[in-house]
Structure 1
């Protein structure tokens, strides 16, 4: 039940932020903090930083590259290993987070993206973006990915799960940095986007828990087959 309650709590925060921003999309209550962060982090078109390997990694994670990873590569790997239950969980997590949560809220709130302001030395998004700044779809994808993969690691594998949480934290922090670096989103869009993605993953984790648990420790079919068909030695 803890998974469900965490999911409900994060979704409630996500929904509440959506309502509060929708009241005044052009200048919500988070705007002073968002403006300060943008002034510190936002890059100019002349900056070479935002096109280097690390920022571009996060850029691709929320675009075609990320879609291929979350909708094809990871599910296909799970299917090949015979973990079709985990595959269904992961696909559901990606769909609920990126499509249902993110796109629904984008259309309901329709917060303006950061705009250029030459007098203040501020710039518009440095990559092509769609409508609606809240929430960050890239951040929703990152949150769902981190928590979705965590669900696939049995709690008994302490080192693996702790290692993944460290990697996942870096991924989520990096996504906040990159989305605000390129002026695509406000800080609040990214932080709440991560919460939305985590909420989707936790909800699916709770819903699929009996099926995910049945996959823990299940032998990979082709490894199990090769072992069972190996000739006996005297």
Structure 2
């Protein structure tokens, strides 16, 4: 087992793969957003978006109120915000992983405001609208301004990478599986309730994950100092020592 002292004595490095993948993903996000901004009512993905909407879009609120879709609905709203902005950072502070807590909070704030809200207002893509003649419906729940990117999907992308970043490499495999399921579920739910076009959800995940990868690279030497500290078992000792 790797101890705290062993982790701290290893030479801290910033993995370049995080930087290059993050930059590539962010470039894809920005290019896509710019292309949609040039024609927000009918971008180059519109045919695919329309086909996906016809395939899986819910036709009533009753369909969208099942436990599975509502789990993802709430996950991107107040319950999810409490978890990611308060509970997880607070826990990291309690167990004396303050570097991880600062990284996690930074990722959430940069992603949700810099990637999501700023892009929404700059691109100004309309959300899916009612088309009763074609049997298509607009958002089945209250939504804010702008469709691209999906804020829920951005949050899912942030969470996928941010949790992986605070875990030691040996414990990441299981999270990648769980996190990927959460991301796919979020893409499905946002398009199922007609809140976003399919491409809005996909690019939202790309934007949130890419921005967080860049922050992971920037914080990596600090995060490595936390990897030897237990995430759960050492909480009681940390509290007693304070």
Q: Distance in 1 between matches of 2:229 and 2:75?
A: 30
Q: Which position in structure 1 is the counterpart of 2:37?
A: 22
Change (3 A) 1:225 1:186: closer
Segments of 5+ residues of structure 2 without an aligned counterpart are 1-15
Equivalent residue of 1:214, what SS?
coil
Q: Distance in 2 between matches of 1:164 and 1:78?
A: 17
CA deviations 1:56-83 (Å, max 9, x no partner) are 1111111111111110010011011110
Question: Is 1:65 the counterpart of 2:79 in the alignment?
Answer: yes
Q: Which position in structure 2 is the counterpart of 1:210?
A: 221
Superposition pairs of residues 1-234 of structure 1, within 5 angstroms: 1-45=16-60, 48-155=62-169, 157=170, 160-218=171-229, 220=234, 222-223=236-237
Change (3 A) 1:40 1:89: same
Change (3 A) 1:41 1:218: same
Change (3 A) 1:75 1:224: closer
Q: Give TM-score scaled by structure 2 length.
A: 0.89
Count how many residue pairs are aligned between Structure 1 and Structure 2.
223
Q: Distance in 1 between matches of 2:95 and 2:68?
A: 31
Q: Distance in 2 between matches of 1:224 and 1:208?
A: 23
Q: What is the CA distance between 1:162 and its match in structure 2?
A: 1.1
